Amino acid sequence: MKSRTFSTSLRPRSVVTRCLIACSAALAFSACSSSSSSSGPAATVPADIGLQVIAGPGIKFDLPTYTAKAGDVKVLYTNRDSQRHTLAIIDSTGKTLPGEMEVVKSGATDVKTYTLAAGTYKIICTVPGHNAMKATLTVS
């Protein structure tokens, strides 16, 4: 009877311990992933987004190079700058893919799906004076 009381009182405790380990592991993971992203509040990126590009702050994209998986790529474009930016994807032959993206002000987002074959593309902003906004997109 003594041992039975002991085992029933132990069981819920071990479940709690297991939960705590799982929870702290999840916390450690989320803390790690948020600290590895850029500064500012981490925006939640939907799971179906295949490529995220951020404009600004300033006349620049957040990264010099991006990668995506070939196929239908849903692109999320977010403006963290105070002015309007666009996003055009140019293939290796110099052709601009149809469907330019646009984010008119800070906090604005645009989502478009492009069908991309494997290869190297250029991402640019077509706003006059924004020639510095150039990035490479590698699709594989």
Binding site for Cu ion (CB under 5 A): 85, 125, 127, 130, 133
Where b means 16+ CB within 10 Å and e means fewer, 40-77 reads: eeeeeeeeeebbbbbbbeebbbbeeebebeeeebebbb
ω before 57 within 30° of 0 (cis)? yes
Residue 74 or 130 with smaller CB distance to Cu ion: 130
- Rounded to an integer, what distance in angstroms lies between the CA atom of residue 82 and that of residue 61? 13
Token pair, residue 24, equals 């702290």
Q: Which residue is nearest to Cu ion (CB)?
A: 125
Residue 73 or 125 with smaller CB distance to Cu ion: 125
Residue 88 or 127 with smaller CB distance to Cu ion: 127
Closest by Cα among 123, 128, 118 to 55: 123
CB of 100 to Cu ion, least distance (A): 12
CB of 86 to Cu ion, least distance (A): 6
CB of 102 to Cu ion, least distance (A): 10
CB of 131 to Cu ion, least distance (A): 9
Residue 50 or 56 with smaller CB distance to Cu ion: 56
Residue 14 or 111 with smaller CB distance to Cu ion: 111
Token pair, residue 31, equals 């803390």
CB of 130 to Cu ion, least distance (A): 3
The pair phi, psi for residue 49, each rounded to 5°, is -75, 125
